[in-house]
Amino acid sequence: MTSQESSDTMNTSSQLPAPKYTPELKIGFDFLYYLSVLAMVVGAGFILVVGLSIPAEISERHTDIEYLFNARVITNDVTAAASEIMQVDGKLKLNNTSGQAAFFIANTDRILISGIFSLLAFYNLRKLFANLATQRIFDLENVAYVKKLGLIILVYSIVSPFITYLCGMAILAEIGEFHEQLQLSPYVSIPIEGILISGALLVLAQILEYAFQMKQEQSLTI
């Protein structure tokens, strides 16, 4: 694309009004982006301060660990029917464990790894809405931002379940049998929603690219 073609496209785009609420959404995504940066810095400090203060002696540890697990709660009553065993799937808080590495693993995944993906998503969203707010609608940068956002969500949706499962295994390997009435196992999930959303965004990126090309062709025929 020549500089003249790019200029024609920018001039055509600037004549279009900015989509409604884009300036407000841009401010909102800016706020979420910088809030995520602050949360990651504070979270990293929390992990270091609390984690390094955990006693080396296992008998002196009373570590609280919050993470995703599959759990079965077994009743004390030996005559109870099997149907009365309660199945729990999701985030559990385990108080007074003997974990040290488990604390670092749980919080590194929960705060830092998830935070990095959130930062990448908010970065592309704020860039996209910055363009839309300044009437740069038919711009190849917007295609790139939407495509990157779809890929970020897709990668996170695929990688996150494996990370959660492996971290769960590592945590349970350290803390052992937490309670005789609580059978824990690594959390297993299939993030269908994230995969569908990422697919929709990647298709949207293709549509935006086609729209950009059509606008280019129209501007060249005038």
Residues with Cβ < 8 Å from 209, sequence gap 6 or more? Answer: 140, 143
Instruction: Provide the pLDDT confidence category of residue 218 given band limits of 50, 70 and 90.
Output: confident
Q: 3-state class of 211 per DSSP?
A: helix
> Is 66 inside a domain boundary?
no
> Is 90 inside a domain boundary?
no
> Is 50 inside a domain boundary?
yes
- Count of all residues that appear for the chain in the document: 222
Mean per-residue pLDDT over the chain, rounded: 82
Q: How many CB atoms lie within 10 A of CB 132?
A: 20
> Is 167 inside a domain boundary?
yes
> Is 113 inside a domain boundary?
yes
Name the domain count of the chain.
1
Please tell me the distance from the alpha carbon of residue 52 to that of residue 36, in angstroms, as a whole number.
24
> Is 37 inside a domain boundary?
yes
Instruction: Provide the pLDDT confidence category of residue 77 given band limits of 50, 70 and 90.
Output: low
Cβ 187 vs Cβ 89: under 8 Å: yes
Domain residue limits at 163: 3-9+19-58+98-178+190-221
User: What is the reported pTM?
Assistant: 0.78
